[in-house]
Chains A and B, each alone.
Chain A
Amino acid sequence: MATVEIRLKRPTKVYHEGETVCGLIEVESKTAIAHQSISLVAEGIAALTLSAKSVGRLESMYNNMKPVPLFNYSTELARQGKLAAGKTTVPFEFVLKPRGSIKSLLETYHGVFISVQYNIKCLIKRPLLNKDLSKEVEFLIEYKSGDKASHKPLNFTICPKNENSKTDMQRFSVRGRLDSCVCCITKPFMGELIVERSENPIRSIELQLMRVETVGSAEGFAKEATEIQNIEIGCGDVCRSRYPFTWCFPECSPAPL
């Protein structure tokens, strides 16, 4: 059985706009195989995704919104021919340039409702009675590091506001500061938290990272907030003082452990 692999030269698979993606197509087979063509397609699409979570308006929008192609490239690497037994490699490369009317390539994003995804697909067409061989890999587009991040500190205070149900609510006061509210995804997210007072012992302090996805359409905007990650920064009855916290953004890394 023959196998096809796509190997990108960059193990991180992270690229920026304007860069050249280089790689190899590796075909490994015990016997020689005849093929009609070897073609490579790379494309980037921004689309709404349908999932169990997507309910309500977003779901209704899904039917109306069409995926937006951001990038497209296709080429034929080899004409009809034969690949010898063993390992055959075919190199390829292409430049990342936005397509048509699109001004720039969007960053890769995997959300609950929305996704921006870039793929490379390789297809080896084979004669009748033979299964075509295909392989698809994803590569990532990032803005140049820190391009759009800016230093915007943000102070916040959390204390119970609900005056009506005093009996239920605990009296406490927590202040804090985020180092920046527009962050670079590869750098840790930092800030600090000050527990000023708490009537009852604290059991745990957690940070929750939410993503808010907004889809605009003719009918208006739809906004959904979902949790990405929840992380504990204090456990037990912590001291009433300041806690700096640092948090690495979760990343989807393709590398093995």
Chain B
Amino acid sequence: VQHYSWKAKKVNYTLEAKDRIGKFTKLRSNEFHPLKPITVTESSLIKISHRDGHASNSENKSLKSHSSSEKVDFIDPLSMMTAEDPLTKASHSNRVVAAVVNEKADAVVDNSFAELSWTNWKMDVVSKSTVDSQLAATMTSILRTTQGISVSDKMRDRLGQLDEFGEASLQEMLNLSQQEFIDRIHFLSNTLTDAWNTNQKVKSLKIAIQCAKLLGDTSVMQFYPSKFILVTDLLDTFGSLVFERIFSICNGMKANDIKPENVSESAKEICLNWILKVASIRELLPRIYVEASIIRCNEFLKKDQCKSSLIRLNSMTRGVGNPLVALYTRAYLCSVGMQHLSSCGGHFKTCFYDFLSTFKQMYTTPVQNLLAHQKLTMESYLGFYAPALTWILSCVGVQAHDATLNEVFERCNSCGNNQVLFDCCISAFSSKYIASRALVLCTAITKADDKLYPKFRVLQSLGKKLIETAPPNADKLMILNETWKMLVKIRDPGNYIACAVIWVEYAAKYFTQKETNTVLGDIIKHMSPDRVYENFYTELQSVVVRVITHMTSFKSIFAMSRFLPFFDMFQKDGQRVEVCKLVAEYFINDNNEFVTSDATTISGLINEGQVSSAAALICGVILKINFGKDFEQQLSFYVECRASFSGLDNVLATLVHSVNRLSAEVTKIVKGKHTRKTSAFVRACSAYSFITIPSLSDSTTKFGLYLESGQVALISQCVTQADAYRSGLTTILDLATTSKSDTENSFLAHVSNLLSSLLVVPDNTEQGVLFPVEELNVISESDAEIRSDIQCAIYIKVLAMLTAYSQEQYLYHVHKVDSNEDLYSNDPKFMAELSQISTTLLNEVLAYLVAGNKDQKLQSFNAFNLFQTILAHGDITESNMNRLAVAVWEIAIQHGHITPKSMLQMMTMLKNKGGHYKTLAHTLKQQIAA
């Protein structure tokens, strides 16, 4: 192997930069550049998106097409698409249809809306009133099942459900019979459809009647609401079957626009026959229900016939003796009314008044006896009324004038024991109406002396409505005071907290921290005795959620003296973590810039829980916490965090990043001129990072952090700290190579980054010239662990760096930090040192390149690399170097791993450079030919 010595090229960076800029401008001004139109559009695009931020893609595209072609007749297919997008077209036409429909039925409730609310209501009832939660699930699934499911599926479902029920212990009997009931109804429903499809219409009618009959039985009242829903579902199916049948005879008519005069005689006859058949059902209750279910058929006979039938049915309902049964019957009539004829405003009101007239009946002896027999309290009995009553009242409330609602309220007020009525009125009417009248209602509730229906329910409903819509400003406080007076009196902690959960939100939404604080205090007072809070963690949690959702800033939340004591109530570990997480999440989502001196309390809160699962969350919190100008406080907060989260790598990394940012920020603020205080601070920051990094386990992260921290230390002018990093770095190099050999590219990138930072790091006077480079020898010493090709690649990079070192003026500087150029000012001794190291490295590399037992492909690539380095950094005017370049070229191309294309590029590049390079190119060309 021939011995070559490295001769570095001298570069004047400023001159070169000028030259480069000149070239660029020349390129720019070239008018015939093929890519020019595109660059122009691109820039205009950028401008556009800058200007209005959210310019949509399609818009941009159309703009682009516009600007890139001056031709008018050119149509961009993409912009065509946007113009005639079938989807938008469809939705547009839909809207038009909807508008037309709206116009036609002005002031008429949207049918689908009614349908939806009815379904919602059903779901609600099922979840509330089914005896057992499992059963509720079954019910819901039944309600949700569409008709598409095959019978076998259903069977399997049902069998599965039965298995589940096998485990039930106490209520088994009750459950079993209920489950049986559900199955029965389900079966009947199927039979009904089957019978209908096989033309046994009388049979299906009979089934419908039988089912409706079941509603007369209130032997298990808890189940009544669910039963009602099951049966009415079946009846609805029946009703629509009948309607469809008659409708199918009237061809060419729209379902929502039936003109009786156009209905054929035979259809009318069939329709009439149905109505008469149903009207002659002997028993009252089935008659009402079945008639109601097919009420829509009246449309075929006469306009407005429906309405009069509904009114007739309504008055028939007065004959139902049992008030509960009667109420639910009315609820069904209302739902039918809502679904089919929206003009029946008055009808709903009569329904309600009819109920009021039977209201007294609930307190008569027969009902009381029944309750005693079923072991029900009056409270729960009234609870069964509430859903149906709410439904009827919400029907009354739809598009009603305030006067109507006032009238309803007046009527309620004049009844005795009217709390249940109040409750239902409040939950049924629009929140706007309720809010405007909240204070009046509040006093009415206070005055009421209803022992039968629990006040807290009423308060709950009121609170919910007021949260939806704010009451008048003047009343807000008064309402809160009034309600809280009542709340305080509630003894049962379950009832109390159920109510408090809602009112605390009211307080948090409309008032400042002071009021909310008081409310929280009261909750603590109520929940603390006998550790009752242990039973109400979910409620307490929702209190927290509600408070933090509505408070404007976190500052105010933690300014509340009761908030942390409130937190102390969460004593079960899992629960606590859960709540802490919630708070943290809200905290992160809070968009306001957050500046507070209390933030440490948050970290206090968080680190009390087990945090391993929430590392990302914590990072978010840390990034969010900002003490503004109080940097010391910020740093000490970071220190505290480090202490709390020592086990979490993610968090530690975030902390290091944050500290680095902090340090850089300080440097930026003082504009590079540190006072004694600030320099102490930035040094502390560096020390922090340096201490923190070693405890990380992932070496790549470590390496990156070291690098970043070192760079920050440098720009913060903490040269000694930066030195310290280097010693860390050298150890890390080993780690990085051994553990991450598969990701060598990123490793090499890291190394380049490191080397380029090293350029500006001044030598330590105690450790001799070019200490860092000496340190790099570690690599060669541990060559057993580093693959030789990587080693070689590193050496080539170092060569480049050493060249940079040898310049008179370095390529870049750090403000206020003197680099080696100034330390040595081109001292010949320093230069000699440089060239000696370079030569050593060069020979190491060459030795590798010509070694026989290595991967030839990698060798070729490295040689090519070296060749490029030589061209860029070597002084090829020197004959020695010139020969070296030729030799390296030879090595590079000898195995044929370098593509002809890249060779050609290289040649062109050399020729363009001119001078010595051109001659070199000539030599090389000859070599290729040979």
Contacts and interface: CB of A to CB of B under 8 A. Distances in A.
Contacts of B321: 202, 234-239
A248 B279 contact: yes
Task: Please list the 3 inter-chain residue pairs (A to B) with the smallest Cβ-Cβ separation, ordered nearest first.
Answer: A236-B321, A234-B319, A255-B269
Contacts of B724: none
A199 interface: no
B320 A238 contact: yes
Interface string B255-277: 00000000001101110111111
Given A255-B266, A255-B269, A241 B318 contact: yes
Interface in B341-366: 357-358, 361, 366
* B268, B280, B287 interface centre (most CB from chain A within 10 Å): B280
A235 B840 CA distance: 112
Contacts of A241: 318, 357
Interface in B235-265: 265
Interface in B285-324: 285, 287, 312, 315-316, 318-322
A222 to B, nearest CB: 29
B280 A255 contact: no
A239 B318 contact: yes
Interface residues of A, number: 32
30 contacts: A10-B265, A12-B268, A12-B269, A229-B280, A231-B287, A232-B319, A233-B319, A234-B319, A234-B321, A235-B283, A235-B284, A235-B319, A235-B320, A236-B325, A237-B321, A237-B322, A237-B366, A239-B361, A241-B318, A243-B318, A248-B275, A250-B276, A253-B269, A255-B270, A255-B272, A256-B201, A256-B270, A256-B273, A257-B205, A257-B270
Contact of A233 (B201, B272, B284): B284
Contacts of A235: 216, 283-285, 319-321
* B201, B279, B282, B321 interface centre (most CB from chain A within 10 Å): B321
B326 to A, nearest CB: 9
Interface in A49-101: none
Nearest to A229: B280
B823 to A, nearest CB: 107
Contacts of A205: 319
B898 interface: no
B315 A12 contact: no
A18 interface: no
A236 B285 CA distance: 11
A220 interface: no
A243 B321 CA distance: 11
Contact of B266 (A11, A230, A232, A242): A11
A136 B413 CA distance: 67
Interface string A183-206: 000001000000000000110010
A104 interface: no
Interface in A31-47: none
B269 A230 contact: no
Interface string A208-234: 000000000000000000000111111
Given A232-B282, A234-B284, A235-B283, A245 B276 contact: no
Contacts of A245: 316, 319
A232 B325 CA distance: 16
B316 A255 contact: no
B276 A251 contact: yes
A162 to B, nearest CB: 26
B255 to A, nearest CB: 21
B202 interface: yes
Given A11-B266, A239-B357, A248-B275, 11 more contacts: A12-B269, A201-B366, A232-B283, A233-B316, A235-B283, A239-B361, A243-B318, A244-B315, A255-B266, A256-B273, A257-B273
A162 B361 CA distance: 31
B481 to A, nearest CB: 41
Interface residues on B, range: 35 or more
A179 to B, nearest CB: 13
Nearest to A239: B358
A248 B325 CA distance: 24
Per DSSP, are chain B's interface residues mostly helix, strand or loop, or mixed? helix
Contacts of B366: 201, 237
A170 interface: no
Contacts of A236: 320-322, 325
A250 B316 contact: no
B395 to A, nearest CB: 22
Given A12-B265, A236-B325, A257-B277, A231 B282 contact: yes
Nearest to B264: A11
Contact of A255 (B273, B282, B284, B315): B273
A232 B284 CA distance: 5
A246 interface: yes
B308 to A, nearest CB: 10
A238 B277 CA distance: 26
Interface string B205-219: 100000000001000
A246 B273 contact: no
Nearest to A241: B357
Contacts of A247: 279
A237 B312 CA distance: 21
* A234, A238, A239, A242 interface centre (most CB from chain B within 10 Å): A239
A248 B276 contact: yes
B922 to A, nearest CB: 107
A250 B280 contact: yes
Nearest to B218: A236
B280 A231 contact: yes
Contacts of B357: 239, 241
Nearest to B312: A246
Given A236-B325, A257-B205, A243 B276 contact: no
Contacts of A234: 284, 319-321
Contacts of A239: 318, 321, 357-358, 361
Contacts of B266: 11, 255
Contacts of B322: 236-237
A257 B273 CA distance: 7
Nearest to B314: A244
Interface in B871-922: none
B810 to A, nearest CB: 101
A238 B319 contact: yes
Nearest to A202: B321
A232 B283 CA distance: 5
Given A248-B280, A253-B272, A255-B270, A11 B318 contact: no
Contacts of A251: 276
A243 B319 contact: yes
Nearest to A233: B319
A163 B366 CA distance: 29
A229 B279 CA distance: 11
Contacts of B273: 253, 255-257
Interface string A12-28: 10000000000000000
A257 B241 CA distance: 12
B372 to A, nearest CB: 16
B265 A11 contact: yes
A248 B272 CA distance: 11
B425 to A, nearest CB: 22
A188 B266 CA distance: 22
A257 B279 CA distance: 14
Nearest to B359: A239
Contacts of B318: 238-239, 241-244
A202 B285 CA distance: 16
A67 B265 CA distance: 34
Nearest to A251: B276
A188 to B, nearest CB: 8
Contacts of B319: 205, 232-235, 238, 243, 245
A84 B283 CA distance: 53
Contacts of B282: 229-232
B251 to A, nearest CB: 16
A196 to B, nearest CB: 15
A201 B364 CA distance: 11
B262 to A, nearest CB: 15
A242 B322 CA distance: 16
